[in-house]
Amino acid sequence: MKPMDDVLLVIDVQNDFMPGGALAVPHGDEVVPAINALASQFAHVVVTQDWHPAAHVSFADNHPGRQPFETVALPYGEQVLWPAHCVQNTHGAALHADLHIPHAQALIRKGYQVDVDSYSAFLESDRKTPTGLAGYLRDKGVRRVHCVGLATDFCVAWSALDAKAAGFDVSVIEHACRAIDLDGSLAKAWASLTAAGVSRD
């Protein structure tokens, strides 16, 4: 069993990111057994949930004339437009039913503000609003953050980079992640992670 200063951060293992879901990640369901096995080795587990209002700024439907996977300029920078996904209190936003982590200790919801996205579990996409996760982990004496889940090139990568910037030792456990890979985003994500000193496990 890993000590309490290691945390497993389980990112966005939600129905809408599974095959057949609103924003399906190819082979996204394969992370579930991998994460269950890892979680049994961690005393400390934190789970995240992408959690958008129906009118969310990241949904293509809320930008007349725009299509999913286009980008738009928002006040805080470029935003990819996604199919509507992980709407608060829907089945799509629920965690995968087979995810089995009864000992998970905290659940961080993100992207709940109508006009700001949040790929990262630490900082919203305006790059200044904290979710509170860094403070929680520091209060708990965490030193090492191990990231798993969906999607490698968006929420996992942004969370890992922000964890590193917040002063934690960080690893991404590759076999327990799957990617969207939009226009080379997966290769770019790994390059940024490696350059930042995040270990690829």
12 is known as an active-site residue: yes
Q: Which stretch binds ligand VGL (CB under 6 A): 66-74, 134-142, 149-157, 164-172?
A: 149-157
Interface pick for ligand VGL out of 8, 9, 12, 145 (rule CB under 6 A):
12
CA distance 92 to 95: 8
> At its nearest, how many Å lie between ligand VGL and the CB of residue 4?
26
155 is known as an active-site residue: yes
Q: What are 123's strand-pairing partners?
A: 130
Looking at the Cβ atoms of 138 and 175, the one nearer to ligand VGL is 175
Interaction pattern, residues 49-88, with Zn ion; x per rule: CB under 5 A: -x--------------------------------------
For 14, which DSSP code?
A: B
In order of 29, 38, 155, the CA distances from 25 in angstroms are 8, 20, 12
Q: Is residue 16 involved in binding Zn ion (CB under 5 A)?
A: no
76-108 burial: b if 16+ Cβ within 10 Å, else e: beebbbbbbbbbeebebbebbeebebeebebeb
Interface with ligand VGL in residues 97-136 (CB under 6 A): 119
Answer yes or no: are the C-beta atoms of 32 and 98 closer than 8 Å.
yes
- Of the candidates 195, 183, 191, 187, the residue with the CA atom closest to the CA atom of residue 80: 183
Answer yes or no: are the C-beta atoms of 41 and 18 closer than 8 Å.
no
Looking at the Cβ atoms of 5 and 181, the one nearer to ligand VGL is 181
> At its nearest, how many Å lie between Zn ion and the CB of residue 27?
19
Query: Whose CB is nearest to Zn ion?
Result: 50
Q: Is residue 155 involved in binding ligand VGL (CB under 6 A)?
A: yes
Active site residues per annotation: 12, 110, 155
